Amino acid sequence: TEAGVTEPQPNFSPCFGGPFLPRRPTEYAQMLAERMKKYRVNVWLLNTGWTGGPYGVGKRFDLKYTRAMVSAIQSGVLAREEFDEDPIFGLMIPRHVEGVPAGVLHPESTWSDAAAYEKKARELAAKFRANDEKFRMDDAVRAAGPRV
């Protein structure tokens, strides 16, 4: 940890290995989007970090649930599930994953205070939007981001 940092701070990195990539991050995003479309690739975002409340209240996401989700992805089962759309981030959340409690799948249900969750989620979404201002993105990419 860094000296004086008492709780996690958001850190936005445009690309893994960014300092070593010669092109603008949006060019890599476009190349990824083209290949995803061409090869009909699903992309999955898993919460392997924090759940159940802000730092100091919540806890690390349980590894057994992460493993269950990865197994469902690899077997193709997850792609056949039904999904709900997160109203703030626009991400699609599965309604069921074998071996994972339903409440764990929806982050707001893991917090004891729904209003506190929504406040933190909106703050994070606003930070994503502010970070996006550094990049010239097309409208479709911008529209896929958080709704704040």
Q: Where are the domains of the chain?
A: 21-143
Rounded to whole angstroms, the Cα distance separating 30 from 25 reads 9
Q: Are the C-beta atoms of residues 98 and 63 closer than 8 Å to each other?
A: no
The whole-number mean pLDDT for each consecutive block of 10 residues of the chain, a chain of 148 residues, reads 72 80 88 94 88 90 95 97 95 96 92 95 93 83 86
Query: Is the CATH number 3.90.228.20 carried by domain 21-143?
Result: yes
Position 2 scores a pLDDT of: 65
Q: Look up the pTM and report it.
A: 0.84
